[in-house]
Each structure stands twice: as structure tokens, then as C-alpha cells.
Structure 1
């Protein structure tokens, strides 16, 4: 299949998998229109994540039985709502939103064009530290048959069953293309479909949903803000390109959908307290499900939810405590349950938490971080602080919204400022308080999206304020032109961010693989036995042999192997090939009979520096026979140990 057709097939399949299950669940529980579309991604993540765990528990091979597992879980999540029927109060429907769909379509095209142009080729692998892990993670799921977060990626951890969020890898494993093509397709789906859809749905819910003021021209405000959000780079562009933190990006892009349900719940609770029939129970369960989907996508999603929903939850709890009586007792009970669940979860995940609690990263400038955050400039990679400050459009709208008097703007202002303070603390100088950013690996580029997402309701309110003051079509058209201009001004930066991890001549931290090596690795499976295991230095890109060619490698990630394993010992000592040697003993234990040598001297490319794998980079050719080669890579069979 032609590369672009394969990418299209993967994109369509991925879009179905990440939207249809959640959309079906949302509709079963009473959401309609844009609200159900916005909640589709987090609820789909819930369905896929639960299906991964259940399939592993009953011994089902994830690919292809994962599709059946997702369908079964979607049905299980939907049936209770159908059974209770009219016994539970339903949810109201948001008002019609003319013009929002074309705006979302325009936003999808703008983001999609930028991401595809930056990718260059459908089978071009991302060359970033985390990307190597995630690409081989997809291959590991396909070969092991397990997509469980509780050990599904054991092949990447020297066989140890370790917790790691596998929702991204399990989703990509179900797509029809190779891991690289499937991953590139999912990047486009998340950036060009899920992001505009979530922003538009949140706008419709905030300005036109049940309980909102539904001021005149609110659909135009939603349309303008949706287009303006395509100028954002902190989310989704940086997460999907230069950072390549795809599981985390999936979790972050669930957040607008979670907020859709949270806004609906917040507007039903007051009526419930007044004794009116509402859908508070349905909305509450949907919020738990949507939040669960964000957490299953990546564990840091729990902390992201605390940042975005914490102020609202504290305010609601304080009001109920002041009210006293049954409502106050319920608030105390809920708080106790939340604390108990958090304590149990922390205990169960204590090993993972301990690994990040002591994480260290060099400090920076608090003032510089503040400027990057306010102007939405890249905070990671070679293009940090580069590009036109097109984020000013969203910033101005958010400031105008914060100055208004619409319902909830103060709460959103507090939330956005809290996220901003967190970014500055983590991105600022080194001090003990920076450790508050441990769930985000002390990486400010992982926190900045929370500022933008919290500012979305403020930007919506600001745009609504302008359209209320100047209600004519000309004003709306002028705002739309400004939003389009901002999006267009950011397009070169989006392309450059993609090229910084795809173009072999522009890789930020050293080239890992060239286009010629990609072609060579893709054909390697026809050159080697089916059970071949290949040794090589990950810093020279040899780990891509598994995801590109389906040939197992000793070192599937760029991280150092676990201390005490054969992999660690082999990497730490100089090679000594010969019958009975320790090197041959380790190779025999690992089943490795082949060595991949990479030499790009004279190519003019800046290679990634070797790390812990320096001893693996250049083994002597004595005792090996050549199997196949490209201009810069050669596969050898190790004969000295025979």
C-alpha cells in the first residue's frame, strides 16, 4: 500500500477508535450534539484502557481481538444508562451552534497541514528520545499480544512487568499500518481532529449549554476562539512533535472533553440542591468516566485534573460545608472518600511515584518562563522561544474575558493563574519548591498546556464580550480574520517543529537515522532469520530496527538497561569475542547472533552522542561476517562465538 494511502487508512481507523466508543457512551448517558462529540475522546480512552486490562486478564491477544474487547467494554459502559432509563433524570441539550462546524473544520485543516508538512514522509520516524521507546512499544504490544498497563511493555524492560500507560501503544497497535505510519497518523488525528473538536465542544458548552446565559452571537464567539486556538503551539504541537510525549499528549487532549462534562455537572448541581429534577447524577458519572480516561492515557492526568478542577471542587465543597445539614455531611463524606482513594492509589503506585519524586532537571529563568507562557512560545527543543508571538490573540481575549462579569470567569481566572504560577515555579531557578513539578518531570513544556486549556473559557468570554459590544457581522468577520492571521503566522513554526524531529538534516539533538537507513531497516526482516536478535548502540539509531523492520533488538530503548541484567553487563564492558569468552556467554544468553554497525562519517550529519552505550558503538569486524549493508549501516553475523 502506498505510504500516503496507508497513513490515510491509519488516520481514519484511529479517528474511529478514539471517538466512536466514547461518543456512543456519551449519548447513552444523555449527552447530545457538540457535548457528546467533545466528551468522545476521554470516554473512548476509558473504553480502550479498560479493554486493554480486561483482554490481558482473560488472555486475549490484543491485536486483533482488541477491537472486540473495546466494543464489549463500550456496551458495558452504555447498558446501565439504558437500563435506568427515565428513572434517572436526563441531561438537557445545548442550543444550536451555527458556524461552529465550519470553524472546527478550518481549524482541523490548518493544524493538519502543518503537522503533515513537518512530517515530510508518512514512514518518517520521529527522532527523539521518547519516540524510540514509544515506537518500539507499539511493536512490543503487537508481538507480546498484551496492551495492559501492568506489564504490557515488559519487552522494553528486560522482561520485567512494569507499570507504564499503554493506551497510546495499544491504540496504535490496532491500526493497519506499521508502527511508524500508525504513530504519524495518530499524531495527525490528535492534533487536527481531537484538539479542534474539544475546543469547539467546550465553547458550545460554556456559552450555549444548558444553564448558560446564551448571549446573542455566542456561536460566533465559539467559532472565532476555535480558529484562534490553531495558533497554539504548547498544545498540541510541541507535545506531538519536538517533545514526542505521545501518551501524555493523548491525556492532555482529553482535558477539554473532561471540562465539557465538568461544566455540565457544575450547572446541574445548584438545581439539584434546590430540589429540581436534573441530570446531576448522570453528569457526575460521566465526569468520573471522562476523568478516568484521561488518567488511563497517562498517570499525570490525575494531577492535571487536580490543577484544572481543584479550585472548582474546593469552592463547591466550601459552599456545601457552609450550608450545613445533609449537604455539608455529604461534602465531608466525598472529601474523605477522595482522600482515601488518593492514599490507596499512591500506595499502589509508590514505586512509580518514587522514581519521579527525586527527579532533577536544571533550573531556568522565572521571567523568561513567564514570557514564554504568556506568549505561547515553545518551551522545549531547538526552537524554544522562537516564532511570532501569535499567542497574543488568545492572551488578549483571555484578559478581556477575565475582566468581564460572566458566570464563572473568576473561577477560571484563578485556575489559569494557578497553572501559570506552577509553570513559572518549575521553569524558574533551582530551589526545593521546584519539586512540586515532579509529576511533570520538572518539564515546564508539560505544564504550559494547562494554562492554555484553563484560559479557553476566558478567551470565549472575551470574544463574547467584544461581539456584544460590536454585534454586527463586520466585527465577527474582523475577529475571524485576526484569528486566521494568527493561525497562518504560526504555520511555519508548526512545520519547523515537525521537521526538527523528522528531517535528518535538522534533528535537534543529533541524527539517529537517515532516509537510506529507514529503507534498509524496513527490508531487514527478509535478510535475517525470523528469530534473529540484533545487537547495536541505541544512540546510533539501531533500536529503530525493531519498529521499522520487525527484527528484535537487544536494546529497544535509549534508556540504560536495568542494573544486574545481562544487557547491562554487556553494554558496560569492551567486547571480547571468542569461544568461551564472557561476551559470547552474554550474547548466547540474550540470543543475539547479529551486530548492527552504523558509521556516518563523511555524511555531514551531526550524530547523537553515545551515552551508556559507548562500548556498543564500534565492535571490531574480526570474528564477524557481513550479511547486508547500506551506505552507512551494516548487519554482521557474529561468527567468533560459534
Structure 2
């Protein structure tokens, strides 16, 4: 498939991320930058919530149903505004045209760089992510499309428990809207999140903090794609697609929270709209990947404390000291109660106790990686890091930005805990993110983008001041060439060229390692030759039959790629199917195997030779799927090199008496 053929899927993904949200934004009364930059929050929330409602009502998931659902919150906002008048509408005028234009034009470099990385990294739009988590996500998408149920209450283990399904909901709509193959839709949704959604969210938060500053808005887009840890890090590691979606919403939630706290510069929202947006963001992140909800809380902790102390001080000066103290105590008690409640939840406890990760470097090395924006062994970004450090110093000039350096240091501390310490004590703080250094590193660009923007603008202002102190002709000192906007543009261009030159190759190569069609057996789950064989298997196996296979040799992807049902859609044995994983090749001698096969309609078995991720203990979980050619009751019907498809005749005497000639491929 060519990239031109993938354009409809990309357009569909972008449309689903923006259009439903824009309807709600405009109905709420937002305009200009505000309406478009926060649209992904409303889109994600309405799509994920409607999927749950449809699942409960038994309504099949479809593009038309989701489109109709998008009209509901928009209509509700309009009715509320009509009922309550201007008291509900955001009493904030849209920015001037030149301010909006600076923001939109500033996104063009992000779009160009991001698409370049995507095209070079994916190589082709149909390449698979050859990663552990991708197996679940691909098959979960297939389950959504076949079952017509996209509810987060049903996606876990494909129909039996909770799993945040917002990414799967949006991607399934991209499939349904464009008729693109499942892997293509997954890749294009991923691209839409990284290249469109994330820069928009950063633009909103930048506008909230720096106000209608043309220089700030003009370089925010460039800064948003200058960090390797996010979005590219989560597209490479895991692969963590739902987390990428959720983290891309965090700047919007933080921006809404800052409006509530009164910590913005000529903000785009009044408090009413901010509360609506903030609540919607919590819903959206909770149904995309809940750890982003905790990211929002962590980032708003310091601004919240500042706002609370300021309010208490104001109450004291107004002679209402008792009221201030009681209010502060109430907020503190609520915070402590929330902390205790969250830590008591069994699901949170299981996430916090996730101890798969081990320290892999010293504390000094981890701190150095943060300073150089080189987390998890990435290339150092010297100029970008200098801009971030400069931004930390300039941030102390204003109460609006005062919290940023401390928040950045706090995020850095979480990364250091995960990368270099990993104890039961650090898990109290890092457990919300699975104690995973990659997820925690991906949060650093949220504050890093803002600090880099502030660093560039502050440096430009300092250069302007320096020029005015030199003995230069007045005409030269007053020229626009050394104005703050011009100097900001020049520094932004330098940052763009140098940073992308240094790190873009890493981003491309990291994606190529993940999205590939060929490679060593230990690195590649499904090679192109296996995909060809799976297409032939799909033509042989009846629609109602289930195929058993060791998922670690790639057969788990048979369902996602062709629609042919597999017994093991995960890399780990499914609950209740462990016995077949261990004893399927004993079907001719073990009656229990036949009983389970009949119950699950297992009629075929597939066998390969290559094994993915050989060091993982899960590779040893399927002894019953080995040596099928030497086992009685397995009839070879399709073969391509080392790949074999068997019809299981051991449990059916009529099939056992029939011996067809196997077909052989190249």
C-alpha cells in the first residue's frame, strides 16, 4: 500500500479527533484558537462515553452511531446556554487575527517534521508494530469491529472486564470510515495523535501561560516536536498507543486547571468553561489511559497550592482569617482523603505493584539524561536543553510561570526514581505510571515545551536589551531585525534546524526498529512471508473455525490481519485455555483435549519455527503447540517453508480417515 492510499485513513483519524470536539467547543461558546485546540478532549470523551452507552444499550458500534452521539453534547451545551444566557458562556473574546495566524503558522513546521518522521519511520503505512503490547491492541481492534461493542467496560480480555478503550474506539472509527486495513488505520491514528493532536494541545497550554504572544505561539509548534521522549518515545516503546493518546490530552487538562486557579495570562476560558473542559478532560484521560489523569494532578499540584495560599492570604487581609483557615483545612482534608481513597483501590494497587522494571543506571546518569533530554539512552539534545534550562531561569520572573521549573524538576525526580532507584518507597510515587521510566520520561516534554518557549523568548529579550546597551547607531538599534519577535524567530529557526538534525534520525530509526516487515526472529513477530501465509490460511479455514497456535511465533496476529479466529489472541495463555496450551498435541490420546476443542470449536492448528522475544518466560507456555508434525491426528493441509497449517483430525474419526495432499507455497 502506498502513502497516497493511506491518506483517507489519516483524514478519517484527524476528523474523528477534531470534528466532534469542534461541534461541542462552538456550542459551548468557544471560538478561534480555544475552539480548535481543545477539540480533541471533547472528541475523545464523547466517542469513548458513547461507546460505553451503546454497549449497555446493545447498539452496534458504527461511524453513523458515533457521529450521531457527537451531536448530543453539542445540543446540550446550546440548550444550557439558551437557558442560562451569558452566565454560562465564556466571556472571553477570540484573539486578534494576527495572534491566531501566528499560532496556526507555527504549527506548520510541526506538521512537516512530524509527517517526515512518520513516513520515514513506518516506511510503508501498512507495516506492523512488532511489539509485545501491539498484539493485544491489534486483536482488541478486531474484536471491536467484529463484536460491534467498543465499550471500555467490555474490552478487557475481549469482552469480560474494563480496559480504557478510547484509542481503540477512535481507531475503529478510522477503519469504518475509510475501509482501510486494520494496521493502516492504527498507524494513521497514531500519526494523527503525534502530528496534529499533540501540537494543538501544546499550543493551547502555551497560549494560556504566555497570553496572546505572537513570538510564543509562533515557536510552540516547533518546540512540541523537538523532544524525542514524546510523542516518538511512546510510539516506539511498548507500543503504548493508548498512553500516547492520553498524554496528548494532558496539556489541555492542565490549561483548563490553570484557568480555574486564575493562573493564566489573558486566558482563553472563563471559569465556567474551564470547569466544563477540565471535567471533560478527566473523563477523556480516564477512558484513554488513566495514568494521564494523575499526570494532570501532579502538574497542577504546585499551581493549586499557590492559588490556595493566595486565597487564604486574601481572606486574612480582608479580616476573614477563620474562614481562610477553615477553607484551607477543608481542601487539605479533601486532598488527603482523595490520596487515601485512590491508594485503597485494588486496580491502583495492582498497577503500583507492577515490578517488571529494574533500575538500569545510576542516579547521576539519570539526572544527566534529564538535563540533556536524552532519557532512556537517547541522543543528547544540546540546544534544546539549553533553551529549557534558560526557560527555568526566566520562569521565576512571573507568578504565572513560577511553578513550571518546580514541576519540571518534580517530573524529573519521578523519572530518576524509575530509572535508577525502584524501591517500595519510590513506587508510592511512580506506581501510577507502572513504575516505568519510559512513561515518566514522556511527561517531561509537557513542561519542557513551555520552558523551551520561555527560554527562547527570554533569550531574545536579553539579546534585545544587550543590543540597546551597545554603541550602535540608533537606526540599527531600532530596526525590526533586532526586535524581540525577529530574534525569537531566528532563535526558533536555529532550534528547529539544529534539534531536528540531531534527533530526527534517532526518531526515524527507533520507529523503523518497531514498525518493520523483516528482521531477526527474536525481533520480528510477523514477517512479510508470514503475512502472505496467513492470507492463504484465511482462504482455507472456515469462518466459524478457530485456529490454535503458539502466539509467540506470530500466529496471534492471524485474527487481526485476516479475521480468522485464533485460540490465543494474546501472547500469554487466555484464562481457561491453559490446558490446550500445554496438551493440544496430545489430542489423539487425551479425551480432555478433545472435549475442550469441541467446546471452543478448535479445528485447525498452525505451527511456525521462529520465536519472538526468546528471553521472555512466556515463550515456554505453549508446549502443546510444538512438534505437531510428529503428533497423531494432525493433517497437514497448507505449507509455506517452515510454516504449516494442520487440520486436527484426532477428535473426528471421519476426518481421520481422509488424507488429502497438502498444498505447498513458495
Shared fold (TM-score, shorter chain, > 0.5):
yes
Could you say which residue in structure 2 is the equivalent of 1:55? 54
Could you say which residue in structure 2 is the equivalent of 1:588? 598
Counterpart-to-counterpart distance in 1, 2:624 and 2:183:
25
Q: Does 1:179 align with 2:182?
A: yes
Residues 455 and 319 (structure 1 numbering): CA distance in 2 closer, same or farther, change over 3 Å? Answer: same
Could you say which residue in structure 1 is the equivalent of 2:528? 515
**Per the alignment, in what secondary structure is the counterpart of residue 627 of structure 1?**
strand
Residues 595 and 508 (structure 1 numbering): CA distance in 2 closer, same or farther, change over 3 Å? Answer: closer
**Per the alignment, in what secondary structure is the counterpart of residue 626 of structure 1?**
strand
Of the candidates 280, 289, 304, which is equivalent to residue 298 of structure 1? 289
Could you say which residue in structure 2 is the equivalent of 1:428? 420
Could you say which residue in structure 2 is the equivalent of 1:362? 358
- Give the 5 Å matches for 1:75-474: 75-76=75-76, 79-88=79-88, 90-92=90-92, 93-95=94-96, 96-155=99-158, 161-176=160-175, 177-209=180-212, 218-267=213-262, 279-324=270-315, 325=320, 350-360=345-355, 361-365=357-361, 366-379=363-376, 385-387=377-379, 389-390=380-381, 392-404=382-394, 405-435=397-427, 436-469=429-462, 470=464, 471-472=482-483
When normalised by structure 1's length, the TM-score is 0.88
Could you say which residue in structure 2 is the equivalent of 1:487? 500
Q: Please tell me whether Structure 1 or Structure 2 has the larger radius of gyration of its CA atoms.
A: 2
Of the candidates 565, 576, 588, which is equivalent to residue 586 of structure 2? 576
Give the CA deviation at 1:258. Answer: 1.9
Of the candidates 533, 541, 546, which is equivalent to residue 559 of structure 2? 546
Task: Show CA shifts across 1:565-600 (max 9, x none).
Answer: 2x1122234731216533222222221111111124
Counterpart-to-counterpart distance in 2, 1:613 and 1:465:
58
- Identify which range, 423-432 or 11-20, moves more after superposition: 423-432
Counterpart-to-counterpart distance in 2, 1:333 and 1:29:
31
Could you say which residue in structure 2 is the equivalent of 1:37? 36
- Structure 2 segments unaligned to the other structure (5+ residues): 465-481, 653-666
Counterpart-to-counterpart distance in 2, 1:233 and 1:506:
24
Counterpart-to-counterpart distance in 1, 2:43 and 2:95:
21
Alpha-carbon contact 1:200-1:223 (below 8 Å) kept? no
Alpha-carbon contact 1:115-1:494 (below 8 Å) kept? no
Alpha-carbon contact 2:61-2:149 (below 8 Å) kept? yes
Q: Does 1:618 align with 2:618?
A: no
Give the CA deviation at 1:494. Answer: 1.3
**Per the alignment, in what secondary structure is the counterpart of residue 428 of structure 1?**
helix
Give the CA deviation at 1:166. Answer: 0.7
Task: Show CA shifts across 1:481-510 (max 9, x none).
Answer: 322221232221111111111224457952
Alpha-carbon contact 1:308-1:450 (below 8 Å) kept? no
Residues 77 and 183 (structure 1 numbering): CA distance in 2 closer, same or farther, change over 3 Å? Answer: farther
CA RMSD between the two structures: 2.8
Residues 498 and 403 (structure 1 numbering): CA distance in 2 closer, same or farther, change over 3 Å? Answer: same
Count of aligned residue pairs for this structure pair: 609
**Per the alignment, in what secondary structure is the counterpart of residue 235 of structure 1?**
coil
Give the CA deviation at 1:48. Answer: 1.4
Residues 79 and 395 (structure 1 numbering): CA distance in 2 closer, same or farther, change over 3 Å? Answer: farther
Counterpart-to-counterpart distance in 2, 1:339 and 1:94:
40
Task: Show CA shifts across 1:162-192 (max 9, x none).
Answer: 1110111111111232321110111110111
Residues 269 and 239 (structure 1 numbering): CA distance in 2 closer, same or farther, change over 3 Å? Answer: closer
- Structure 1 segments unaligned to the other structure (5+ residues): 210-217, 273-277, 380-384
Counterpart-to-counterpart distance in 1, 2:168 and 2:424:
35
Alpha-carbon contact 2:138-2:560 (below 8 Å) kept? yes
Counterpart-to-counterpart distance in 2, 1:426 and 1:467:
36
Counterpart-to-counterpart distance in 1, 2:8 and 2:222:
26
Give the CA deviation at 1:477. Answer: 4.2
Task: Show CA shifts across 1:589-637 (max 9, x none).
Answer: 2211111111249xxx987766243414423224222333333422211
Give the CA deviation at 1:519. Answer: 2.8
**Per the alignment, in what secondary structure is the counterpart of residue 306 of structure 2?**
helix
Higher relative contact order (CA 8 A, sep 6+): 1
Counterpart-to-counterpart distance in 1, 2:521 and 2:399:
45
Residues 474 and 304 (structure 1 numbering): CA distance in 2 closer, same or farther, change over 3 Å? Answer: closer
Counterpart-to-counterpart distance in 1, 2:342 and 2:51:
19
Task: Show CA shifts across 1:99-145 (max 9, x none).
Answer: 33222112111111112211122221111011110111111111222
Counterpart-to-counterpart distance in 2, 1:246 and 1:453:
17
Task: Show CA shifts across 1:304-349 (max 9, x none).
Answer: 11211122122222333344446665665566666666766666xx
Give the CA deviation at 1:250. Answer: 0.5
Task: Show CA shifts across 1:539-587 (max 9, x none).
Answer: 111111011001111111113433xx2x112223473121653322222
Counterpart-to-counterpart distance in 1, 2:613 and 2:287:
38
When normalised by structure 2's length, the TM-score is 0.85
Alpha-carbon contact 1:147-1:153 (below 8 Å) kept? no
- Identify which range, 442-451 or 261-270, moves more after superposition: 261-270
